[in-house]
Amino acid sequence: MSHPHPELGPPPPLSPDALRVVALGGLGEIGRNMAVFEYRGKLLIVDCGVLFPEEEQPGVDLILPDFDYIRDRLDDVEALVLTHGHEDHIGAVPFLLRERPDIPLVGSRLTLALLSAKLGEHRIKPETVQVAEDDRRSFGPFDLEFLAVNHSIPDALAVAVRTEAGTLLHTGDFKMDQLPLDGRLTDLAGFARLGSEGVDLLMADSTNAEVPGFVTSERDISPVIDSVFDQADQRIIVACFASHVHRVQQVLDSAKAHGRKVAFVGRSMVRNMNIARDLGYLTVPADLLVDVKQLDDLRPDEAVLVSTGSQGEPMSALTRMANRDHQIRIEQGDTVLLASSLIPGNENSVNRVINGLTRWGAKVVHKGNALVHVSGHAPAGELLYVHNMVRPRNFMPVHGEWRHMRAHARVAALAGLDEDRICLAEDGVVVDLHKGRARITGKVQAGYVYVDGASVGDVTESALKDRRILGEEGFISVIVAVDSTSGKIVGEPEIHTRGAGIGVEAYDEVIPKVQDSLEKAASDGITDPHQLRQLVRRGIGRWVNETYRRRPMIVPVIVEI
């Protein structure tokens, strides 16, 4: 089993008869999926998604892949293939197209429609190539074949990439639901056919590799949703991903059966469901939908709201309802249905939302107490099935945290693949497919790029560390006036504090110490403002740490007069 190593250096020049694979995101994390393939000087990209920030990344809106590896070679990009329309696969496309707007975007009908709406908000008119399952298209030296896969969003695709260096199969996100709501099965026959032709490298979804068995069918959710509707005697608020068309369809069907009206809440939910309805992926019974402004005209037992916020996102509609910061007020007796999985890292945020909703009297139904969601990712039994069908010569687990990828590597080994043909890589690790063997050959930069408002890439890890310190420990500013010629202190230092939890009177103890150190520095001929600031910072910092066992941010200001 090939393992990445921190000491890996830059990869060697690519052999003319080799195919290079570099994941710029999606390995060792849930999100930010992006893979770059290189062959004979040309590049093909599969997916370009975002990662959503966690609590230790305050102020960050989105996390992008680092485009530095391809930034100087954007003209070599033949196409960007999008396997499906989830944000962790398409969310970073607008940022890539800012650097080269005419990259052809290749995807299914729904995927391109969702992406085009997003790009419209960025005032980008893309060049698109619509494909469907069973299509074959060539882009430069890459011959692509698209296969249907079942996922938690319609129109998802796997892609086979054929080059003279070998054939690669990228599954995208998939599962093998045998009774999907839309009747669109994962193309197992196509996988098996590719396997018989010979797949040199399989890159497959690892998100559920730790979960044994086979996935529960989406159809098993419908009776549970119906029972929630049966038991609710006031409003029902359903929170799910804004792209989960199948789940919304189930809610609409239950609402119709129970004589309720439905309103979509949240900009992305309204936009995506309108697109899905217009393209025929969402069937909306006549007179079922109402505008959110019409809810006041309905009795509580006639209303259903479908909202975003199932992951506890701070600005989502559901979170704002829980915080009493939304026009829709949670009332005693309301039922809230969280109809989605829990993305790792969001547990605390979701629990806060559940507690907030419960505080106002809502009954909250979620995955922990009812079967209200099934995953969109294949568990271990299905992954083993795929490995036995495809029989790849080499395997690279993708799309998952380390524990998921290692579990998927064990599945591949159980299916009979030699461990030295399993490439366990992380973001930025270079894998070259050459003469039928896939090997790790180096590493390139593939760090986080933070989006903070209109700023892209300006927020650094150092800035995030400062934000965490400010949030956890507060700050102390010290203003000292000194004579510009002699460096002697003029007057008494002025101290201001925010969030440090230290009373103003407590600084009477340390101010004389600061004055003494500055006077000693002046007598030693030290007048450089930077050195004086360091003296103040060390003196205040040592005192705070020894007295209060705290480490606030200390901002000394030297004013020369």
50 carries a ligand binding annotation: no
451 contacts 52 by C-beta, under 8 angstroms: no
Please provide residue 88's backbone torsions phi and psi, each rounded to the nearest 5 degrees.
Answer: -75, 0
70 contacts 52 by C-beta, under 8 angstroms: no
404 carries a ligand binding annotation: no
From the list 248, 255, 264, the residue with the least C-alpha distance to 301 is: 255
**Chain centroid, CA 377 distance in Å:** 16
Instruction: Give me the residues paired with residue 378 across strands.
Output: none
- What's the angle, vertex CA 260, arms to CA 304 and CA 338, rounded to 5? 30
What is the SS3 assignment for 409?
helix
C-alpha distances in Å from residue 392, one per residue of 136, 213, 395, 437, 444: 21, 21, 7, 11, 26
For tokens 């102020």, what's the residue? 59
169 contacts 199 by C-beta, under 8 angstroms: yes
Nearest-angstrom CA–CA distance, 351 and 296:
29
Q: What is the DSSP string of 345-399?
A: T-HHHHHHHHHHHHHTT-EEE-TTTS-----SS-BHHHHHHHHHHH--SSEEEES
258 carries a ligand binding annotation: no
374 carries a ligand binding annotation: yes
Nearest-angstrom CA–CA distance, 245 and 251:
10
| Structure token pair of residue 480 | 């000292």
Please provide residue 306's backbone torsions phi and psi, each rounded to the nearest 5 degrees.
Answer: -115, 120
376 carries a ligand binding annotation: yes
Is residue 404 exposed (0-12), middle (13-18) or buried (19+ Cβ within 10 Å)?
A: buried
Annotated binding site: 373-377
Annotated binding site for substrate: 373-377
